[in-house]
Structure 1
Amino acid sequence: MSLKYLILGFFVKIITGFDDTITHIPVLASVTRTRIGKIAFSIGILLAIIMAIIVSAFFAAFIRSFVYYRYISAALLFILAAAIHFDILVHKERTKAENFVVGCKKFHIRCIKLIGIGFIASIATVLDDIIAYSPLFLDTLIRPYAIIGILAATILEIMAVIYFAEKISKIKYKDEIASIGIITLGILILIGII
């Protein structure tokens, strides 16, 4: 059972973070070229994900207070999938994040600044993930395993950003893949599997 929720947390993060990973690649490339700079930027991404996990846990507790919380969770995921598919939510936030990072490039960038830039760039793209993480935290027994899965996927995505920047950006239909994954998660929640 614990392995199931660890894998589920991993799957949800990979699906919801796919478009975020694609967004972080050009931002990272425009800010730094050194390995230390990339690691500092990645620490900022990790901090933003940890913050999103915390907010998701509180959001899940709020949703859990309603009688039909599974339907509410599924509906929120379907709305999120539509927003990603039609680029309603993510595109505007990406533009703000990229503009901020490009403006910060003019300054002498150190590790602390890169951590902050990575955090701010990630906050803009991780806001939609909060909704997708929340159903994983509806049951307190599975919460630690889901968190481990999310963090494991985050580390994998950070490695992908650092090492495979050029190859990942060439993948077609990334928004559609993310939307289908979120719809699948919503259906699994709706029918009670998750």
Structure 2
Amino acid sequence: MVFKFILLGIFVKIVTGFDDTITHIPIITSITKTRKGKIAFTAGMFLAIILAIIIAMFFSTLLKSVPFYKEIFAGLLFGLAIAIFFDILVHKPRAKAEHEIMKYKKKIPTERIARLLFVGFIASFATVLDDIITYSPLFTHGFLYDIFAIIGILAAALLELLLVLYFSEKLTKFKHKEKIASVGLVILGILILTGII
């Protein structure tokens, strides 16, 4: 049972976060000039993911008190899958946030690690807002299982960030990431409706 929640955390993070991670690669390469700067930027991204997990836990606590909360979670996931597949309300705000961040690329010296950490946090938080909906169903089974779901999410997040640091050029060529995310969300919604999650 414990291993199941770790795997679910990994699955949810990879399905919903992979397209976000690839989206950040042009920002990272244009804003950061050194490995230390890239690490600071990705550390900011990691902090944003932690904040998204905290918000998702709070959101799931609120929804758990509502009758038919599993159906509501599944409906939100199906809606998000449609929004991602047809590019409704998800990528346009993300593109706007990226455009705003890119304005400051010449104003951030590479030695300003704290500033790069902050910019990484802001850039990532703008893109993980939709992930909050997908994390939330994992936090409806009790504190112990929540911890293991968090371990899975953070393990997948670290893997994605390491891929960005070391394989960013290859990742940008990856196609159909939105379709994969949409299918993953539909699978997650079905798992909730059938009681597996």
TM-score where L is the length of structure 1? 0.97
Q: CA offset at residue 74 of structure 1? A: 0.3
Q: Distance in 1 between matches of 2:15 and 2:81?
A: 11
CA contact (8 A) 2:31 2:108 kept: no
For 1:179 and 1:66, how far apart are their aligned partners in 2?
Answer: 26
CA RMSD, Structure 1 to Structure 2 (Å): 0.9
Query: What whole-Å deviation, never above 9, does each CA across 1:4-44 have from its counterpart, x for those lacking one?
Result: 10011011000000110111111101101211000000111
* Deviations 1:142-191, CA, capped at 9 Å, x for gaps: 10000000000000010111111111111111100000001100000011
How many equivalent residue pairs? 194
How many angstroms apart in 1 are the aligned matches of 2:42 and 2:88?
26
Deviates more, 1:108-117 or 1:69-78: 108-117
Alignment-mate amino acid for residue 145 of structure 1: F
* Aligned structure 1 segments of 4 or more residues deviating by more than 3 angstroms: none
Do 2:108 and 2:116's aligned partners in 1 also have CA atoms closer than 8 Å? no
1:94 is displaced (CA, Å) by 2.1
Aligned to 2:157: 154
How do residues 175-190 of structure 1 correspond to structure 2 at under 5 angstroms?
A: 175-190=178-193
Please, which runs of 5 or more residues in structure 2 have no aligned partner? Answer: none
Deviations 1:108-167 (A, max 9, x none): 331011001101100110000000000000112310000000000000010111111111
Take 2:108 and 2:139, find their aligned partners in 1: how far apart are those partners?
40
| 1:113 matches 2:115 | yes
- Would the aligned equivalents of 2:31 and 2:106 in 1 still touch at CA under 8 Å? no
Stretches of structure 1 that go unaligned for 5 or more consecutive residues are none
Percent identity over the alignment is: 59
| 2:132 is aligned with 1:133 | no
- What is aligned with 2:49? 49
Query: 1:93, CA displacement in angstroms?
Result: 2.1
Q: Output the amino acid matched with 2:121.
A: F
The equivalent residue for 1:27 is: 27
- TM-score between both structures, scaled by the size of structure 2: 0.96
